Amino acid sequence: MSESLQVLRSHARQIWHAGVEAANAGRLVEDAVGRRGAWIRFGDLHMRLAEIDSILVVGGGKAGAEMSAGFERSLGERIPRRLPVRGWVHVPDRSVRRLKTIHLHGARSRPDNRPTASGVEGTRRLGEMLDGATRRDLVVCLLSGGASALLPAPVPGVSLAAKRRVTTLLHRSGASIEEMNAVRKHLSWLKGGGMVRRVKGGRIVSLIVSDVIGDRLDVIGSGPTAPDPTTFADAVEVLRRHRIWSISPLPVRRVLQAGVAGARQETLKRLPARVHNVVIGNNRTALEAAAREARRLGYRVVRMPTSVAGEAGQAGAQLARMASRVRDRGDPVRPPACILSGGETTVRLGRTTGKGGRNQELVLAALCWLQEDGLQGIVLLSAGTDGEDGPTDAAGACGDRNLWRRAASRGMDPGALLARHDSYNFFSPLDGLLKTGPTGTNVMDLQVVLVGAPG
């Protein structure tokens, strides 16, 4: 590998890690929770400590372990010891560890967004804790991306197997997170404001690390403490639009049809004054930190004007086109340049599929668009800030001209691998995968494209 490409690859990873580090969920919680005299602060919200008898901490998400640890650190430093605290938070199995007051419940053993039996049982116990909350108790919900799958609470009439089946169908159809959650909220007693209904009169504060474009409260974790603008009819329309209504489990269709007919209660539509939702971190948090690091390293920074969404392959081609313009025409900035973007794409799977994730597919699509000659002086990296990318052990991938050449020397066909969504098996033998393990946060994906090394 040439020296300049080595520098670019190293810098791309350094910039990506700076963005992820800035969005560390534990520190975001510590920054959000404070105390001054007789008051406790959650973001801009202030409450009198004397009005609180105990604190009940619940929630879930891929960042749940770090959020819980950060909250405990805040309690230890800023909250009187006389205030009892107990908690139950759902996290991926590999994030489970012992904390002082909050129990971390493992609800998912693999990088798979389908609900599990452990998640259902844990959510039942979480519901029992909510049932016991009094008017003078404060319920703190720690919410981050992944909570929809980690907190499964099927409504009566829908089995875990049925929920898993419809979740799989939605994934394979390329449904957006908004569409998926419209369905999941109407099959759950917890989502779509269901947690608010379960707490009879007590105050609720949700500290939220956002993993969705626009920080929509009804979409993050399927909105357990937020009003839901979608309806049973919307959920039915999502399944019909993606042509999976007829093959969805019969119990799912019956519940949704009953809701359309008015025989089931709709999700929460108005938020009571006793509930407060506070977004403490999002994709912008990571992007701003990544931009600072890129400038420190000597790059001119340009950020994509909108969040990356839609098909991963199309997003990869768009980033490739911009990198080419920057290198060849200095438009909109001259090299050395760093193009930053963030968001979350989808992959619409066909009949024949390989192994991969949306970030790996985005980078492979960009490489295929540029080809060997077009890759001169360019490095592209895309990875999930949570350390996951689809059902793989990688966070994403990084590609450049030398990686493309190594693929050619092995007789690999990048276009064919892209067509069957087999990006993992393209990058893995070429040492192009980015593997981080759990990062402690989840603020969607972050793309770093470098054009020309400084100096």
The one-digit pLDDT tens for each residue of the chain (455 residues) are 477 899 999 999 999 999 999 999 999 999 999 888 888 999 999 999 999 999 999 999 999 999 999 999 988 766 666 788 999 999 999 999 999 999 999 998 777 778 899 999 999 999 999 999 999 999 999 999 999 999 999 999 999 999 999 999 998 888 888 899 999 999 999 999 999 999 988 899 999 999 999 999 999 999 999 999 999 999 999 999 999 999 999 999 999 999 999 999 999 999 999 999 999 999 999 999 999 999 999 999 999 888 899 999 999 999 999 999 999 999 999 999 999 999 999 888 777 679 999 999 999 999 999 999 999 999 999 999 999 999 999 999 999 999 999 999 999 999 999 999 999 999 999 999 999 999 989 999 999 999 998 97
Whole-number Å distance between alpha carbons of 147 and 92: 10
* Predicted pLDDT of residue 79: 64
Q: What is the pTM of this model?
A: 0.91
In angstroms, the CA 28 to CA 78 distance is 16
* Confidence at residue 305, expressed as pLDDT on a 0 to 100 scale: 80
Q: What is the dihedral of CA 132, 137, 138, 144, to 10 degrees?
A: -10
- Residue 438, preceding peptide bond in cis (omega within 30° of 0): no
- Enter the tokens of residue 51: 């009005």
Alpha carbon separation from 75 to 26, 207, 348, 378 (Å, rounded): 13, 14, 44, 47
Residue 76, pLDDT score: 75
Q: What is the Cα–Cα distance from 367 to 314, expressed in whole angstroms? A: 12
Closest among 40, 127, 116 to 79, alpha carbons compared: 40
pLDDT for position 37: 82
Question: Is 449 in contact with 316 (CB distance < 8 Å)?
Answer: no
